Structure 1
Amino acid sequence: MAREFQDQPPAGDEPTSYDKEQLTLYLRLLDADRDGAGWQEAFEIIFGIDPSEHPERAEKVFTSHLDRAKWLASSGYLELLLAGRG
């Protein structure tokens, strides 16, 4: 079952509620990237959508979410940790 997602995650220097909702998706994207998976295969598995139906849109969705996942993994997670302490 495909999860709901936006074409592009919200931008900004703080994690959003959308980011929190998509943590599992972000982790799966980071795993796929680390493992060297092709974006089309990873997109279909993670997002549950055939990328050949709308290849340009699919690539933009994949890339924007992977970029956000990388940001969250490198610095955005600190905000999540601090918020969890309160």
Structure 2
Amino acid sequence: MPADVLPVAADVPWSDSLTAYDKAHFTIYMRFLDAAADNASYEEMADLILGIDPEREPERARNAARSHLDRANWMVTTGYKELFAN
């Protein structure tokens, strides 16, 4: 599970530019987009992708999942442009 390999923030560090966090967690973002397309709940995403137990930490699970999904959506609508610059 990627959460075991890379530290996962409770809230994604937000910036108007790509961050080191974005680059390190790109695969996680893609997993979030895939899960959202399959109508997974925030709780399911937090558990399966981030390794956060939504029963033990419901607020943290929901906030972390929402934060990562929001950033994943930003990546595919805006942030990707920086990947192809230069």
TM range (shorter): 0.7 to 0.9
In the alignment, which residue of structure 1 is the partner of 2:17? 14
Q: Which runs of 5+ in 2 are unaligned?
A: none
> How does 1:1-86 map onto structure 2 within 5 Å?
1=1, 2-3=3-4, 4-82=7-85, 85=86
CA offset digits 1:22-41 (Å, max 9, x no partner): 00000000001111112211
Question: Once superposed, which parts of structure 1, at least 4 consecutive aligned residues long, lie more than 2 Å away?
Answer: none
Which has the higher relative contact order, 1 or 2, with Cα contacts under 8 A spaced 6 or more apart? 1
Q: CA RMSD in A?
A: 1.2
Identity rate of aligned residues, in percent?
45
Deviation of 1:49 after TM superposition, in Å, equals 2.3
* Bigger Cα displacement from structure 2, 19-28 vs 34-43: 34-43
TM-score (norm: length of structure 1): 0.88
**One-letter code aligned to 2:25:** Q
Q: State TM-score, norm by structure 2.
A: 0.88
Equivalenced residues, count: 83
